[in-house]
Each structure stands twice: as structure tokens, then as C-alpha cells.
Structure 1
Amino acid sequence: MKISNLNGTPDLHHEPGSDLFLSDAVVAGLPGPDTEDEQGQLGGNHLSRFVTLLVFHIAVLSLAYFLSFELRFDGDIPEYIQRVFFKTLPGVVLIQILSLRLLGGFYGWWRSVSFADLVALGRAVLVAIVLILVADVLFFPWLLIPRSVVLIDGALTIIFLGALRSLWRFTREHLFRYVGVDPAQRSFVVGAGLVGERFIQQLHSHPELGLHVVGVLDDNPRFRGSFLAGVPVIGRVSQAIDLAQIHNVRHLLIMSNSLPGKRVRDLVKKCHGEHIDVKMIPSVDEILGGAFQMRIRDVEIEDLLKREPVQLDRVAIGEMLRGKRVLVTGAGGSIGSEICRQVLKEEADLLILVDRTENNLFRIEQEIRRCRATVPIVASMADVCDLAQLRPLFEQYAPEIVFHAAAHKHVPLMELHPGRAVANNILGTKVVADLAAEHRVDRFVLISTDKAVQPTSVMGASKQLAERYVHSLGQLSNSTAFIVVRFGNVLASDGSVVPIFQEQIRRGGPVTITHREMVRFFMTIPEASQLVLQAAAIGSGSEIFVLDMGEPVKIVDLAREMIRLSGHTSDSIKIEEIGMRPGEKLYEELFAEEEEVLDTSHPRIHACYQRFFDVDEVERTIAELAQSVYDPREVILRKLSEAVPEFSQERELVGANFLSQSEPIAQLANQSENGSPS
């Protein structure tokens, strides 16, 4: 892979989406690939480095062996002992070389030495001592090697090699760090800690990356005045711009999860004005999450909206999922696929993937198989509306937990095709929920949306009826815990506002919004999925849980931030207001007025309680809607309004003139606000 320096052309921005890669295992201090050998092979000098190391070790080991005799005999070595030295020197050095090579004692010379390297060195020397003593006693007793000499030799070997490695590290980190450094390579790291220290060590060892860290910023006072890999912690994050000007810094490297999204937004905005490049470093959670490579990456919109990391009760989630058979509908969608990834971490007994979209199902199945997950998986291309397709899955695999994430979510498309919203979102939910009750599933979890509250769209009304049916089942069921989890928009889901804006920016604009005052709640896909699992673990049945979405975000502000992150200005990429369309609201609500809101054991999960819905009445309503799935659009809208009183029918119908505009229907739908999770 080609890695470009920052001080020339091409630079870090020479390709959209380009990243700089380092071994995630090395940065995290975990067992990883043979970094030294890999670098040597890439540079074509692996053999020369090995020969250099071999000659160096032979010289140091020979010196240590000679000095061990000198120390043992106080500098007056008898003549016959001198003969023992010369006879045994080749064999002793050979055993030590082999032990060092096989047990990792050779590694680490071309990068910063770590405690793990010193442990490997000590282990290799200890094994060599044992082998030498065994060989002396069993095979060459006539050589008469003083055993104290062998022990002294081992101690000297550890001291010499350890000291030389430490000296090499000090030389690289302190004496030669800024030799020939271009000012354009000077960088700050935001966030002190173990991963930050490992990361800085790797940058010192890889000058080809073109980044030289001259200071660390952290708000924790305990780090003030300390050093990370020889780099001083020089101030607080709020001082970043002032300190960058003092130290002539051109790059800011932010540890992911070290700052909340609002502070990242403010920092990016200030750095943009000072022409300081900002990039993100994955956190230890991301590194340990299974990705083979970690990357220094550009700041993404998720970083600007990120909140404090979710603290999960892993014990409760593990108890819920471990050894259980889990079925996920909509498994290929944004939320469904992430729930599958989270379930894999909890050692479930079986994971059943259900999705009617061939490509989505294939993609998530292949991803899971590439991970070599120990959890067996079953991929079934089935439609949640088709009882005949789903029943065999329940009969054959007997799922114990069901996450129902399958849904139609795009607001304008559902306005055009309300029959599909009724069929998939209402009837599909009823089919899966009824099967869960029939087969006495432990937990059934419905993924819902804030658009179900005071709905003005077909999609929102259909999801409210789905909520109502699941809630009514939960009030009667003694065997299955029926749980609803409601939340707002998720970033970067299929068809959501983020990828739409990205595509519009890529085309050169304009970025289209429907109203400058429109606001939405946003949450990242992993955060939403983790909280869904937490809510499922908390729930005992018949609850509607609502996730804490944080502060609402203006869509126009989101557009401005994305334009700025792409390297453009408001002059080069225009924002165009195209007007609200049927089904859209200026703002979304998480709770209905009549709902009672209570806290739960988790600070980001709230519970709301509705009035009792008679399941028979809800079933009659759904049955009437089922009869109208293929009726004219106006008939379905009227019946939805009768079933959901809050659903407003005072909306302009999308007629032929509207559909004849230049944009195709699919694009028309995609340019709306972000839909509910799928």
C-alpha cells in the first residue's frame, strides 16, 4: 500500500476516503504481526536487517559470556578455564541466538521497545540458560562449565540487550525526532492514555507516515506535565489553537471517544479557520472490536454528533443472549445487521437471519462468515408478511428471542404506496408477533420510530399501530415479554440524510433541504443497537422504551457541517430549500402527550406507559386495514385516519403533477428527512 507524506503532493487528501493504516494490534499493545519483518520485506531490506541483527547479537552475547568468566574469577581466569571458554563459546552463543529468534527476543529493534519486548527477551534468555545447563550435564559433562558462569552470563545478556534497546528508543524519540522534520508534519494528539502512547510510539517508528507528534493535549489534570512516549502533555484541549500557533502545528489527531461530539464540532470549526488539518484515531474499543486494521481517518459527521460512549450492563445482556437462539428480521438493514453483530459478541447458541432482500441478506451473511464467528447462523430469505415462509423457521429452530427490525421506513415512498406500509409495517409485525406468542418465545422486541408519535405520515401511523398491537399482546401474555423500543433517526442508514448529502456534495451541489427550521434527533447505528439490547435486557413485558436521543439537530446545520468537512465552503456548495412534502414534520417527538414517562435503571433509556388497548379491538382494526391493502390510496388514508385519530388527513395529496417532476420517485423519497431505522 502506498503511503504519502503530508508535505508534498499527493498528500493525505489525494483520494476521497483515503486513510493511513497502522497495525491495530501493535498500537493497542496486543500480539500482532511481525512488524519488523513486514516492514523489512516492504522495504526490500529484510535480509540485510537480519544479518545486521545477527552480527550484533553474536558480538554482544560473546562479550557477555567473556565478562561472566571475568566476574566469576575476579579477572584472573585459569588457563584450563580459558580453554573451556573458547571450546564452549560457539555452542553457547548458538543456543542463545536460536532461543532469542524462536521466542521473540529478536523483535522490536526497528520500532520503540516496549515492556512486552523486554519480557520476551527475559523469557528467551531463561530458556537458553536451562538448555545450556541441560546440555552441560547430559551431553558434555567433561567441559566443566561453571554453572555460576551460565547464570552470570544470562543476567549480563538481559542487562546488555535491554539497555541497548532502551538507548536505541531514547535516541530515536529524543535525539533524532525532529531531524529533518518538515514543519508541515508537526502534529498534536488529543487524548492521553495507553492507546495514545502506543500510537505515538508507532508514529516515531514510522517516519514514512509523515506525522511527527510534538505535544499531547488532555483535560485531565493528572496528565499535566507528564510525557507519553517522550512527548510532553502541554495543555488542555481548549488551548489547542493557541498552542498550535505557538508550536507551528499543522495537524490535530483526536483520539476517538476522547471528546463528545459538540466539542469535536467546535474544534473542527476553529481548526478549519486556522487551516489546521484534523483527523481521528480509533479508540481502544474500536481497535478491540475486531477490525484488522486501524486507521488515521478524516473527521466524519458521526464524530461531530457523537455523545459519551454507551455504558452497557454486559452481564445482563450476556445472561439474556448467552446460549439462546436469536432471530432477527430485517437482518440486512442498518439496525438489524448491527444487532446481529452485537449478538455475535454474546455467545448466542444460534443466530437466524431473516430478510427478504437478497443482496442485504447475502452481505450480512458473508460478513459474519468472514469474522469466523463461533455462533452458528442460518440465513433465510423470507418475507415477514408471509406466514407460510416464517412458520417453518419457528417450528424448526424454535427461536427464544426475536428482534423485529424489518420495516418500510421512507416517508415519501410510503405516502405514495400506503398499502405497502400497511402490509409490511402492520401486518408483518402482527405475523411475527403472533408466531412469537404461539411458540412461547422468551422476548419479542419491536424496533419502532419517533415518527409513530403524533404521526402525520403513513409510515408513522403504520408504526404506531404496530406499537399498539405489540403493546396489547404484552398486556395479556404470561409467557412472552413483548417489548417496544422507540428512537429517532440513525446516521448513515440506507437512504438517510447523511449519504444523500454526501452524494449531493460529491456532485458539486446543491445540497437540498426541505425547510431551514427542520430539526431531527440523531443517533449512531452502534449506539442505537447497543441500547436496543440493553432495553431488551431490562424489559419484563408490555413496556415501550424510548432511547435518549440527546439534543435535536437542525438539518441545515448538519448540511453546513458536512460541506465544511468535505473541504468546501458555503460559497462553493449551495444549500437549496425545496419545501416540505406530505408526511414531513418540522420536528419529531419522542413521547405522546398522554404517555407517562419514567426513568429506568439505564440513564439513556426511558419507559413510557400508554392506556390499555384491547387486543381484540386492535386486531379488528388491523383486519379492516388488511382488507384495504390493494384499495385506492385515498381509501387507505381514510382508514388509517380512522384507526389512528392523531393521523392528520389534512395533507395535500401527491398527484400526477407532483410525480411528473424531473426527479424519479426513488430519488424523491431519498431527499426527505432521514427515515426510521431498519
Structure 2
Amino acid sequence: MMKRTFDICMAALGLVLTAPLLAIISVLIKLDSQGPVIFRQVRVGQGFRPFAIQKFRTMTVDAPGTGLPLTVGQDSRITRIGRILRKCKLDELPQLWNVLVGDMSFVGPRPEVPRYVERLRSEFSEVLTVRPGITDLASLRYIDEASILAYSSNPEEEYQLKVLPEKIRLAKFYIRHMSLRLDLAIIMQTLLHLARIPVVVFTLPALKAVVDPPSASPWTSLSSFIMRWRKPIIVVLDVVLIILADYCAFALRYDGSIPEGELHTFEQTVLALVAIRGVAFALFGLNEGLWRYTSIWDLQNIIGGVLISTIVFYGWVHWVMGISSYPRSIFAIDAILLIGFLAGVRLPARVLRDKPIFQKKRKVLVIGAGDSGERVVREMKSRTEFNCQPIGFVDDNVGLLNQRIHGVRVLGTVQDLPKLIEGFKPEMVVIAEPNAAPEFLRDLVIKLEPYNISIKTLPAKEELLADQSAVSQIRNVSIPDLLSRAPISLDNEATRRMVRGKCVLITGAGGSIGSELARQITLFEPKVLLLYERHENSLYNIHKELDDKRLPFSVVPLIGDVTDAQRLCTVLEQYKPQILFHAAAHKHVPLVEMNPLEAVKNNCIGTRVTAEAASLYGVEQFVHISTDKAVNPSSVMGATKRVAELIIQDIARSSRTRFLLVRFGNVLGSSGSVLLRFQEQIRAGGPVTVTHPEIVKERLRCNHP
């Protein structure tokens, strides 16, 4: 209803205001060529209802029967007046009548001729739910459509296959986001394009830069001139403002009627005032800053420059010029006015740069109204490139309820989250508490699980870089964030003494555990690191990762299977490793349940082959990686790993090799880890599935790069 009211009022006003122009154009068309002034063509409107669109005639009378159905480039059928009208889009003015009678709107999908609509009727079914418009997003993208089509060898095919589908896409986008604010932004952007003013008043990232400022225009030349001579221009403007502020101070002091004597005082002192303020402004650099980046720092300089120059001017008037009758109140009034004038001419450049009329942003709910939350909101509001709109804070401090930080209100506590999500429908939740407890994070994840919403957090305080944007450091909630206790670090010195200068072999080196072992072992300076793996892609990835680090020792990739005794013996005989980490195993419980024979072959037979080979070739230490599922096993995977442990224990009784068994629980970040499954389920909007509500697991953290 509001849109239609706006259309009627503006169309009626437009027809009245442009009536003289319409009359002049009509006369020029008649003088230029034969035929009617108005060109009418059937277009398809709302609900597939045909209507006659009206334009000023810009082509010869016989144009519809000759040439292409589309106007392309410098079409010979266009009249002399028509070419001017098309360039300025003045031929569209009669469509104000279409808007007034209800066939069209100011903003809406451009109406197409019936032949195009019938070809894509299903696509137009959504587009034609609204009135077509004089301008829209597609009009901005294809504002010079005839010139674009002129570069094609087949303009009709180019229009139907490329241009028209893109117009439909933009029309659908407009319908999904239509509002009076967006309409006003499109109208203003259209007018700016026609005036060739390189200003963008709204941004829509999803539209692939629909609104590009014109590349060349008189305004571009003017802008270049201003930038070249900006410093002298600023100095002249500041001088004008200094004189204006001083005069206005006298006028305010004497209620608009300045006595003759005081006017003489103003004329006597104004040059000294300009000189003193000019020197102060130069010292404070007021004529050097770029106005589009005006900030609090610039305001401080303005205040400092005005106050210092006011004090110096006071001394000059009273002690040098000896004018004791100079009213003291004028010093204060003049300073206040000048600060307002100087800030007033600088701030609009910053405001217009940072505040487009329409910008589609992600709605963000910030949890935590402390220093970190304030920093996040400040950056989101001041830097448009983040494309985020903070809609509110959530904080458990009830004393902050309904308070505002940078204009953003504290909406409620964490317990109110479901109600706030339903009411405000944010697209992202940012946890702005760098050292949030894992229990707190898990509670948030549970509360937000029913909603399709992105959850982000800040790094810990010791990781949060003060010299970088807080928003740029926002990341997804990671697995360690949800752990109830801190990870336990290795005894690095003991491990270094064990590994340094030794030849180390890792079986299953391409797997999650094997590759992480390889990364950790490289920190302790082995003599040679042998990566033994049967999957070439996994082996290639870990070898490439380590090779890129330019390590001071050799990292040798070896393709081989732990069940292949001959290949394993060849490797052991050639390299003579002193330490062997046996991480090769089938560990995905559901897959192993469906393929038990393969599990027995790899986990049991493979372990026996490897252990016997290690004992035969004199490996000093053999570390077997097992699992907690080997304890009272209830699955095929657990049973095969338990059998492997028994095999190791049996071989160890008669071998000089030292055998060690290490049982892991769930490895965070490993292939097949339940935590990765949880993350996938959370990203997909849930539900999060668990084995049993009473289950408790210990986990090993696996750091993938």
C-alpha cells in the first residue's frame, strides 16, 4: 500500500513538474520526423496482464517492420532527437502515466514483450507477481544495453541466452528484498548514473557488482581537479569559515544587529584572527587530512587548533592591539561556531562514504557486552567491508539490560537466546568472550542447535592480536573450545632424547594418527624419517607438507602394505630404523563391522608381520598404537586391536626389541572422529547424534594444519 501511494504521488508530481519539458520534447519530435509523438508497445505486466507501455518515439515510423527486433548500437532507424532522448533516458518520461494508472511502478522488473515472456513463462511466474517498473537492478546493470549488444555477432541470441536470464535473476532478487528503502536507493542510483556522477549509494554483494560507477564523466574530471588543488581549496574554505564564524559570533552576541563600533572592531581584528588561526591549523595539519577518513583524531586536532588559536588571539587583541573593549563572550561563541563549521564540512564525506542508502548485511547477535564485544561492534559499524550489522548484545549482567553500546542495545541474557533468535532472526552469533568456558560454549551450542545459524567466536585473549581487527580474527567454534580441560603437552625433553639422531619409521603415516606423529617427530631432530603408507594420495600429502618446511634431515616416502612381508623386510634392511611407530590399522567401527575379514588381515596379520620384521632386523623400540576399544571389546575393530596387542605381547617375550603399547581414546580431528561428525551435523543445522546419553570419553587432540 505504501509503495502504491508513493507511486501515485510521485507520478502525479512528476507529470506536473515535467509538463513544460514534455511539451518541448513533443514539438521537437514532430519537427524532426513524421509520425506520432508517443510510441506504444504491448508489454506483459503483473499477473501476465498485457498493457500498452508509452514512450516518446525515438525511431522512424517504419522501424517495427525493418531491421532487428532489438535496438543495437548506432541503429540507423533512430532519429536525431531520438538519439539524444535515449542517451538521457528522456524517452521513458511518458511512463509516468503508466505508473499513475497502475500499469507500472517506479521501481520493479522491467516489462518484457510477450514473445520473451512466453518462452520463459515459468521463470516469469515469480517476476510478474509485482508491477513492472521504470527502473530496477537490471536497468542499472544494463543501462546502455544497446551498446552491449552491439559487440555480439548475434544480438537476439545474446539477449535471450545471457542478458534476459540475468535480468530475471536480478528481478527475483529484488522481489525477495523489496522495500521502500531499496526503491529509493535504486531511484537515486539511477539518477546518479544518468548524471554520470561516480557515487554508489547502495551495495548488494550477492549481485556481483551490479552498481558500477561510470568510468568517465565530467564529475571525474572535477574530482581530479579538486584532488590536485585540494590543499589550496581547503585553505580558502577554512579562511571563509573563520571569517563567517567570527561574524556570526558578533551577530549572535548582539542579537543580529551589530553596532557600528563593534562592526569596526570586527573589521579591525579579522585579518589577525585569520593569520593566527591559519598558523595554528597548519601546525595541527587540518589542511592535510583526507576528509573521507575523518575520525575522532581529526576532531581532536580541530578542537586543539581552534582553542590554541583562540588563546593566542585573545592575547594579541588585548596586549598587542590594546583593544580592551573586545567582548569576551565572542571568543567563546566564535570558537564553538568554528569547531562546528570545520567538523560540519568534513564529516559528510565520511558519513556518505560509510553509510550507503541501502546495503544488504548479515544480521549479527553479539554475546558479551564487555570490551571485546564493544570492539567487535565498533568495527562492524565503522567498516562496511565486513558486511555485518550488529542487531544487539546478549549478556548475563542484568545491570546492562537495555543499555546501548555504539547505539546497539543489550537485548537480554543467555537464557533469552531462543526468544531473541525467534524475534530478531540473526544470521550469525558471535561469542565476544575470548576466554569463554567450555561449559558455557557447549550450553550455547545446545541452545542454538534448533536454529540454522552460524556460530563464531574470538580467539583466547593471549591469541587476540591487539594490532589487528577483532572482526577479522573471528573464527568458527573449534573442537578444543568445547573441551572441559586444557590439552596436556608432551614432555618435550624426554621425547627429544628418545628421537634425536635416530632413524624413525612410521607405518600408516598418511592416516590421522600417523601423520600427526610425523609432524610431532620432526620437532625432535631425527636423523631420517621414513613414512610408510599404502595409500599414495595420503602419503603424497604428508610428505609434501613436511618437505615444504625445508627440514634439515631426510623425509623418505615409502609406498607399502604392512601385510606385505617382503616389502617391509626390504625397507627395514635398507634403512635400518631404530624406532618404529606402528599406526597402520583399520579403525572406522561401522566399516570394520561390515568388512571383518579385512580388519583381521590388516589389524592382526599386519601387526604380526610388522612386529616380527622389526624383531628380525633389530629395531630398538617398537611403539604399537592401540585403542581403548581393545578393553573388553564389543566391536570387530576393538576385538582385532585386542588380538594385535596379544600378538605384540607374545613376540616381546623372546625378542631383544623393546615393545610398547599405547592406547588412544577418540582422536580429535582424526579421520572418522565423532567430533568431525558433530561439526558437520551442527553446520547442517542438526540434529547432533550421540551413541548413548551416559557415555564418557577421553580424547586425544590431533592438530591438522
**Which TM-score band applies after superposition, normalised by the shorter structure?**
0.3 to 0.5
RCO comparison, higher one (Cα < 8 Å, 6+): 1
Instruction: Give the greater-gyration-radius structure (CA).
Output: 2
Q: TM-score, normalised by structure 2?
A: 0.41
Higher share in helix: 2
Task: Give me the TM-score of the superposition, normalised by structure 1.
Answer: 0.42
